[in-house]
A and B are shown apart, each in its own frame.
Chain A
Amino acid sequence: MKKLSLIFILIGITIFTVTCSKDGASSASADAAAAGQNGSLTRFIVVNNYLYTISNDALKVYNITSPSTPIYKSIQQVGFAIQTIFPYQDKLFIGSNNAMFIYSLANPETPTKLAEVPYFVRGKDPIVAIDSVAYSTVRNNFGGGVLNIFNIKNINRPLSIGSVGMLNPYGLGLKDSALYVCEADSGLKVFNIVKPFLPVLKKHIKFNETAYDVIVKANILVCYIKGGVALFDITNVHLPVLISTVKN
């Protein structure tokens, strides 16, 4: 328990799961009008025929079977200072300043809480998850932070596996055996996650931009930077190549 708490010491949580057949963190959609992809910092997501939104303290659900006209379905209190929401399979990962929450979407109109993992030290926490491993970043207010690694094989009891020290980490994204973590002024870091529980820093890309979040879109990594966006070619997932920026 003590070890578990230690792992949650920093701010910002991103969880990824590693054996996804899809591109990283995109949400699944079976119907004709596919859902788009969001960065890990988002508060709104679409999963199949439902829109999920988080406010500071609550999760709201809308039915969007008819996409033009959402029908409000439910609200439930989650916690305090909720920051991010991330869909993975039939689960929602919700990050708050002091905890990570996992909800089941077995009943998509009224998600049910499966697990809550408290943090010792509060922070800002995007979350992404894929398969049996989840990665999260936690950012403190002093320019520091960590990348946390969780074993989520038993979704009801996430296990903290360890953490990697980071500089002011923000959003993250995942493709195949690559994990991308934004570090604001320090740029973008790429981890090799061939061994999912032992991420190894593969590349640190400093590109004179402040990087906040990423979306993996096939062979393109879309990066939200200060004042715009940057696009990287990730044909080689471990060696992103900056190909363009949109600023001003």
Chain B
Amino acid sequence: MKQSILFSILAVLLFSCGKKNNGIGMVDAYVPTYSNNASDKQITRQAPQAIVNGGKIATIGNKLYQVENDLGIHVIDISTPNSPVKIGFIKNNLCRELTLKGNYIYTNNLTDLVVLDVSTPSAVLVTSRIDNAFPDLAIQYPPCTNCYFECADATKGMVVKWTLQQVNNPKCKK
């Protein structure tokens, strides 16, 4: 028992937020934005958007879907393969994964499993949500190496975004 407590403390120290550092002054560092739940769980159909950090792909029929990492899903019409056309975007926070069956998209919204009915081209309907099905899709660390960041504070909610800013003495490094 004592050992396991010690081990837990050690594990927390080792993995909580990288190395602590003291007094390095103003530096570039990543700052977390936390989820305020309701609005971050909204999934909406939008006009086509630029592919910036495109991710995994899936296809069915004439539709090709590409994840925009952490932001949503591009909807691409490939009925004419010589001239594919982006026809829409599904805003979906922390999106990373998707798979398809019929008119349904199975994807992650934050760490939840959600099912999206896309049978109506202009809309998206969330038909099911299973809370916290994928806890390890949370982004507790910024997308960088050898960088400073403000340690994520789990009591403030889930991190939905990391932004690079000037920070005075950031407490974490990885």
Residues of A within 8 A of B (CB): 29, 32-39, 41-46, 51, 53, 55-56, 60, 62, 64, 67-70, 72, 213, 215, 217, 220, 222, 224-229, 231, 233, 243-244, 246-248
Contact = CB atoms under 8 A, between A and B. Distances in A.
A29 B55 CA distance: 25
B9 interface: no
Given A227-B51, A244-B81, A42 B58 contact: yes
> Chain A interface secondary structure, helix, strand, loop or mixed?
strand
Interface stretch (B18-26, B99-107, B150-158, B166-174): B99-107
Contacts of A34: 60, 101-102
B57 A36 contact: no
A72 B133 CA distance: 10
B57 A222 contact: yes
Interface residues of B, number: 42
The 10 closest A-B pairs by CB, nearest first: A36-B100, A33-B102, A36-B60, A68-B127, A44-B99, A228-B51, A224-B57, A67-B104, A56-B136, A46-B101
A72 B56 CA distance: 24
Contacts of A217: 59
16 contacts: A35-B60, A35-B101, A38-B99, A44-B98, A46-B99, A46-B106, A56-B136, A67-B115, A220-B78, A220-B81, A224-B57, A229-B64, A231-B81, A233-B81, A243-B81, A246-B86
A44 B81 contact: no
B111 to A, nearest CB: 10
Interface of B: 50-60, 64, 66, 76, 78, 81-84, 86, 96-104, 106-107, 113, 115, 117, 127-128, 130, 133-137
A61 B51 CA distance: 31
Contacts of B78: 220, 222, 231
A224 B106 contact: no
B57 A213 contact: yes
Nearest to A45: B99
Contacts of B53: 227
Most buried by B among A29, A37, A226, A228: A228
